[in-house]
């Protein structure tokens, strides 16, 4: 899940954009004009003295990769249409494959067959929400010149709601990164079960989270992240290998599909819903993918195909894992797999490396927004600004790692993020946008379907959030 915005707003996209924002202020030296220029992923802060006619540019710049994250101004200049149908579908699939696939077997094991049915329903609802959002994006692009998620929110709901949605995006990213730290620490601990590492005040699990954070720290300092653009294909490859490894463990390693799976385990339904709400997230960047396609009319087919691939693989993995391990299924299926298998070790290392590669990319919208503010308000030399920026990036990572150590409970963190944030971003807001834009033209049946989706999504989100928070508190007290 990888879409956020700031000021200037930040969108996942595949094309370089040039934009700028500016403002004026009265200082002791006279009237000055401040601006932030964005071109080909580089953010430069400049100040112009209008009285003296002198322009100075701070030496600090922010590099953002062209492939995964593009900085766009509030005008939301639409991307060039270059992507083919295949590329658009591949981009959609890469956004749907992520951290959540690890917890699919746990979700099915906790809720029974109803968990798989619920996952299918959430996938269908998210796919429909992505389709509605693409229509809103195309409408907004035609009328206001921008097809981004944030631009639609601004035009449809106003600046206040745009700020709320921006905050929601940021919190979703932070929650996802907490999940990355926990996942990386858990899988490292499983890979090295006899290390016996300990530090004063930290459990062995938290020591592994600390080590994982230290491994990710150098990537957070890197400004030019274009070298990490391969992570989309890496995620797809690691997900496919995970499914194959689980299948091999069941057949070749002799684990088998021996555990019964009931139709319904009611207590596990809210957490399972939150896990799948998170797993099928990432659709908030689908409008940018749609607007980047040569023929946006084919985007609906791309959504159907990508969701079909992701749904079959995730639910297939979930059902296999639940039948293999039953109620002993861990919140990450990699922690159940036989450690002596070479395939398992490969999958575990890929699971460890994926957060390391993606962490800086995921965090970049937040750090970019903070750095724009830093360079705008801090008058200092190049080296000082660079040092402050590095310190700020390290502090953000430290906060994420500390939270992961306090609440190292992967299933509840992921379920909380999915229920409280991803559900709203991927379903509730797109449905609301679509109703407000096209209400006079919609048939009563369409209005009823969308309203029902909003109501059901709200109920699932509230229930999942409450149960997840209760689970976090209960586990924290018992630890």
What CATH number does residue 407 fall under?
A: 1.20.1740.10
Tell me, what's the pLDDT at 235? 84
% residues pLDDT > 70 (the chain): 81
Provide the pLDDT confidence category of residue 19 given band limits of 50, 70 and 90. very low
* In the predicted structure, residue 41 carries a pLDDT above the cut 90: no
Average pLDDT, the chain: 81
Tell me, what's the pLDDT at 229? 67
Tell me, what's the pLDDT at 11? 41
Q: Is residue 7 part of a domain?
A: no
Q: Residue 127: which region, alpha, beta or left (left: phi > 0; alpha: psi -120 to 50)? A: alpha
Q: Is residue 414 part of a domain?
A: yes
CA 416 and chain centroid, separation:
14
Q: Is residue 317 part of a domain?
A: yes
Residue range of the domain that includes 210: 77-478
Q: Is residue 83 part of a domain?
A: yes
Structure pTM?
0.80
Query: Between the ranges 21-35, 233-247, 357-371, where is the mean pLDDT highest?
Result: 233-247
* In the predicted structure, residue 428 carries a pLDDT above the cut 70: yes
Q: What is the pLDDT averaged over residues 40-68? A: 42
* In the predicted structure, residue 38 carries a pLDDT above the cut 50: no
Q: What is the pLDDT averaged over residues 402-416? A: 94
> Structurally, how many domains does the chain consist of?
1
Q: Is residue 45 part of a domain?
A: no
For residue 125, what are the contacts with CB-CB under 8 A and spacing of at least 6? 427, 453, 456, 457
Tell me, what's the pLDDT at 408? 93
What is the b/e burial string over 294-309, where b = at least 16 CB atoms within 10 angstroms of the residue's CB? Answer: eebeebeebbebbbeb
Tell me, what's the pLDDT at 81? 58
Q: Is residue 3 part of a domain?
A: no
* In the predicted structure, residue 69 carries a pLDDT above the cut 60: no
DSSP bridge partners of 57: 46
Provide the pLDDT confidence category of residue 112 given band limits of 50, 70 and 90. very high
Q: What is the pLDDT averaged over residues 357-380? A: 83
Q: Is residue 127 part of a domain?
A: yes
Tell me, what's the pLDDT at 397? 94
Tell me, what's the pLDDT at 36? 43
- Cα distance between residue 309 and residue 290, in whole Å: 18
For residue 241, what are the contacts with CB-CB under 8 A and spacing of at least 6? 343, 346, 347, 350
Q: Is residue 62 part of a domain?
A: no
Tell me, what's the pLDDT at 228? 66
* In the predicted structure, residue 277 carries a pLDDT above the cut 60: yes
pLDDT top residue among 127 and 33 = 127
Tell me, what's the pLDDT at 186? 92
* In the predicted structure, residue 150 carries a pLDDT above the cut 60: yes
Q: What is the pLDDT averaged over residues 413-436? A: 95
Tell me, what's the pLDDT at 202? 75
């Amino acid at each position: 899940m990888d879409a956020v915005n700031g000021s200037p707003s930040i969108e996942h996209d595949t094309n370089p954009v040039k934009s700028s924002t500016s403002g004026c202020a009265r200082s002791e030296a006279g009237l000055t004009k401040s601006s932030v220029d964005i071109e080909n992923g580089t953010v430069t802060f400049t100040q112009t003295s209008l009285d003296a006619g002198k322009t100075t540019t701070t030496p600090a710049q922010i590099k953002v990769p062209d492939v995964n994250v593009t900085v766009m101004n509030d005008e939301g200049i639409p991307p060039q249409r270059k992507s083919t149908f295949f590329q658009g579908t591949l981009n959609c699939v890469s956004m749907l494959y992520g951290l959540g696939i690890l917890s699919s077997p746990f979700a099915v094991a906790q809720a029974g067959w109803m968990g798989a049915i619920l996952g299918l329903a959430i996938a269908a609802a998210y796919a429909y929400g992505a389709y509605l959002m693409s229509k809103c994006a195309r409408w907004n692009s035609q009328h206001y010149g921008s097809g981004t998620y944030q631009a639609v929110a601004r035009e449809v709901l106003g600046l206040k709601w745009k700020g709320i949605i921006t905050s929601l995006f940021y919190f979703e990213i932070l929650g996802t990164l907490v999940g990355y730290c926990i996942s990386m620490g858990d899988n490292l601990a499983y890979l090295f079960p006899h290390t016996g590492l300990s530090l004063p005040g930290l459990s062995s699990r938290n020591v592994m989270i600390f080590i994982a954070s230290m491994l990710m720290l150098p990537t957070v300092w890197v400004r030019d992240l274009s070298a990490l653009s391969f992570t989309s294909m890496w995620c797809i490859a690691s997900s496919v290998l995970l499914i194959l490894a689980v299948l091999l463990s069941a057949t070749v390693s002799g684990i088998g599909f021996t555990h019964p799976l009931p139709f319904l385990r009611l207590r596990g339904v809210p957490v399972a819903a939150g896990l799948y709400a998170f797993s099928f997230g990432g659709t908030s960047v689908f409008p940018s993918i749609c607007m980047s396609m040569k023929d946006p009319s084919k985007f609906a087919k791309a959504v159907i195909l990508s969701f079909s691939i992701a749904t079959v693989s995730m639910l297939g993995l979930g059902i296999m894992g639940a039948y293999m391990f039953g109620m002993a299924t861990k919140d990450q299926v990699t922690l159940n797999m036989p450690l002596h298998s070479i395939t398992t070790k490969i999958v575990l290392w890929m699971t460890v490396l994926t957060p390391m590669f993606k962490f800086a990319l995921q965090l970049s919208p937040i750090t970019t927004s903070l750095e724009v503010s830093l360079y705008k308000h801090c008058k200092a030399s190049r080296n000082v600004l660079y040092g402050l920026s590095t310190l700020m990036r390290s502090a953000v990572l430290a906060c994420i790692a500390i939270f992961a150590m306090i609440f190292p409970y992967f299933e509840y963190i992921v379920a909380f993020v999915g229920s409280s944030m991803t559900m709203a971003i991927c379903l509730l807001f797109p449905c609301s946008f679509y109703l407000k834009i096209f209400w006079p033209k919609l048939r009563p049946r369409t209005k009823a379907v969308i309203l029902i989706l909003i109501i059901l999504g709200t109920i699932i989100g509230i229930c999942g959030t409450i149960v997840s928070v209760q689970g976090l508190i209960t586990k924290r007290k018992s630890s």
